Structure 1
Amino acid sequence: MNKLTHVNNKGEANMVDVSDKNNTTRIAKASAKVLMKSETLQEIKGNNLKKGDVLSVARIAGIMAAKQTHHLIPMCHSLNLSKISVDFEFIENGVQITTLAKLNAQTGVEMEALTAASIAALTIYDMCKALDHFIKITDVQLLEKEGGKSGHWKSENA
């Protein structure tokens, strides 16, 4: 069993020291789904909401959130991200969000990709909640990561 890296020998929270790790290109992809009534989805597609363009705002929110991950998750390192993308696909009764985070560094960007997906989903929820009280955010997950000592990993859901 792998030892948890964010806990020291006394069981206390501990930020991992990555100073001896090599800089490599690291990429992570994540996703989330926002499920809603078909009427709500049609309002998003038609860009008819009073609050504005839902997907444009959600994209910006996801990008901003990824850049702030270290402020939100205590043991995350402050990273100089080189790329964040937040993309949307309309699915039956909802929106599929896919994010990508990339950099050249000593630590990975999984949390940044997951944070971008989560905050983009929450932004869609926020902008549509007046129309639909049954919106559900599901399937927030890491899809793929590459770079670093552990190499390439891909989810069966990717």
Structure 2
Amino acid sequence: MSKLTHLNEAGEANMVDVSDKNVTTREARAQVSVYMNAAAFVSLQAGQNKKGDVIATARIAGIQAAKKTSELIPLCHPLMLKKVQVDFDIDKQMHAVHIKTYCKVADQTGVEMEALTAASVAALTIYDMCKAVDKHMRIEGLQVVAKSGGKAGDWEIDPAQTK
């Protein structure tokens, strides 16, 4: 069994020392989907949500969340993000908003948590803004779908596995 990296010799929580790792360009992509009823979807799509522009607000929330990841997730390293992108695909057939995030950094550790945090908070923002119309929305499928840079190498999930 491999050694757990976030525990010290006494078994206590510990931030990993990355000071000996090389600074490299690291990128990560994540995604998540928010499913809602027809009334909430029509309101969102028409820009008639009483709380304002749902997509614009969720985009800003996701970007801000990525920048705050180390304050939200214990033992995450603070990163000087170089790029955070939050995109939305509106799925009329499924009454869904599919959120895709991208984060980029030049650092000694990966940026997957920032991409996941951006996706999560963007989804939660949509939920918050639309919950008055649909109290039964679902947030599903949060996952990292691609990463590059660092010792572990590059990888991307087959799009068929993300459905």
Q: TM-score, normalised by structure 1?
A: 0.97
Q: Select which of 126, 129, 132 maps to 1:127.
A: 129
Look up the SS of the partner of 1:70 in the other structure.
helix
Partner of 2:157: 155
> Which position in structure 2 is the counterpart of 1:113?
115
Can you list the C-alpha shifts for 1:50-105, whole angstroms capped at 9, x where unaligned?
Answer: 11000000000000000000000110001000000000001212100000000110
Task: Could you tell me which runs of 5 or more consecutive residues in structure 2 were left unpaired when the two chains were aligned.
Answer: none
The separation in 2 between residues aligned to 1:71 and 1:2, in whole angstroms, is 28
- What corresponds to 2:35 in structure 1? 35
After TM superposition, the score normalised by the length of structure 2 is 0.94
Q: 2:49 maps to what in 1? A: 49
* Alpha-carbon RMSD: 1.0
Structure 1 gaps, min length 5:
none
Structure-2 residue corresponding to 1:140: 142
Cα distance in 2 between the residues matched to 1:41 and 1:4? 43
Distance 1:73 1:10 in 2: 22
Aligned equivalents of 2:136, 2:2: Cα separation in 1: 39
- Tell me the CA shift for residue 4 of structure 1: 1.9
Identity of aligned residues (%): 56
| Structure 2 residue aligned with 1:65 | 65
